[in-house]
Amino acid sequence: MVSEAVERTAERIATMEVRGAATIARAAAEALATAAEESDADTPEALRADLREAARVLHDTRPTAVSLPNALRVVLTDVQGETASELRASVVETVDAFVAGLDAARDDLGRVGANRLRDGDTVMTHCHSTDALACVEHAVEDGKSISAYVKETRPRQQGHVTAHQLAELGVDVTLIVDSAAHRYLDDVDHVLVGADAVTADGSVINKVGTAGLAVSARERGVPVLCAAQTLKLHPDTLAGHSVEIEMRGESEVIEAGERERVGDIEVANPAFDVTPARFVDAVVTERGQFPPQAVVTLMRERYGDATTDPWAE
């Protein structure tokens, strides 16, 4: 039985109260620390079993953001202890270090991304990405004046969060409906998006609509930057595995009362799409910016060739 706190976090991730790849990773790691603190296991083996069970519940919430399994893997493999209490303390310490690492990576990445932005530049964003926002935040801190076209991002309107946060930074924000993106690309210097996963061949998996935006941007000669800390690199893709694209419910697309009006038709609601590497100009990470084709080297350095799923053991 997993603790109520873990169940609650899993529920908040599944219902998207907690959303965005980095934020999901943080919540999942913190839930493991809570699971360790709340477990009454008195042997390291029993505590490890409790942690694996908690990790399984957290893992099965949403399938696409690789930051979630990557976070669980880091915590479950880095912890050590000869006794249950040593192991418990090690989980809390490991999670603290992991969370501090997330913040530091976001900050370092933001500094790298900010170097791409010049004073007076206009960016176009899609969805809400804390990594992408870090780039603008650092550019503004450097004294650059930045404007933004912010796509609203149907059906969940994460663009509203982006618009609000960019405006708070002092960015001149224009909110547009998704289908107006092509119309405004001529006024844009960079498309700036985040990622839920970056694959070994440099493809970027991000909120549905990113791929279409990137293709339009290429047609207009606008560079596409993907801000993604290395926690978003998908190590399973090194061995040829594909990434599951989450399909969400139709109630996000048509409200219950609209069913009768639209009739008996299928509704498909994929949450993410795949932007092939050839439409991405740079992947901005905490270790520098890379052409998407070079991501594979970075992935091997960080994760090695083999990955394990400790929660599945």
Binding site for ligand RUB (CB under 6 A): 19-23, 65, 127, 129-132, 158, 194-196, 206-207, 271
Taking CB atoms within 8 Å and a gap of at least 24, the contacts of 302-310 are 302/230, 302/233, 302/235, 303/70, 303/233, 303/235, 303/238, 304/235, 305/238, 305/239, 307/73, 307/235, 307/236, 307/239, 308/73, 308/77, 309/69, 309/73, 310/52, 310/55, 310/72, 310/73, 310/76, 310/77
CA distances in angstroms from 273 to 78, 156, 175, 206, 250, listed in the order given = 32, 15, 22, 6, 17
Which of the following is catalytic: 50, 121, 131, 196? 196
* Of 90 and 269, CB closest to ligand RUB: 269
* Of 3 and 125, CB closest to ligand RUB: 125
* Of 21 and 76, CB closest to ligand RUB: 21
What CA–CA distance (Å, rounded) separates 89 from 81? 8
What CA–CA distance (Å, rounded) separates 49 from 5? 17
What is the nearest approach in angstroms of ligand RUB to the Cβ of residue 263? 28
The reply to whether 127 belongs to the active site is yes
* Of 44 and 194, CB closest to ligand RUB: 194
**Burial (CB count <10 Å: 0-12, 13-18, 19+), residue 235:** buried
What is the nearest approach in angstroms of ligand RUB to the Cβ of residue 92? 24
What is the nearest approach in angstroms of ligand RUB to the Cβ of residue 65? 6
* Of 23 and 90, CB closest to ligand RUB: 23
What is the nearest approach in angstroms of ligand RUB to the Cβ of residue 272? 7
- List the beta strands (DSSP E) in the chain: 122-125, 147-151, 172-176, 190-193, 197-198, 204-207, 224-227, 272-275, 282-285, 288-290
* Of 56 and 154, CB closest to ligand RUB: 154
- Single out the residue of 102, 101, 123 nearest to residue 114, CA to CA: 123
What is the nearest approach in angstroms of ligand RUB to the Cβ of residue 161? 9
What is the nearest approach in angstroms of ligand RUB to the Cβ of residue 260? 28
Q: Which residue's CB atom is positioned nearest to ligand RUB?
A: 194
Residues 6+ apart with CB under 8 A from 173: 147, 148, 150, 163, 166, 167
Which of the following is catalytic: 127, 131, 273, 281? 127
Q: Which residues are catalytic?
A: 127, 196
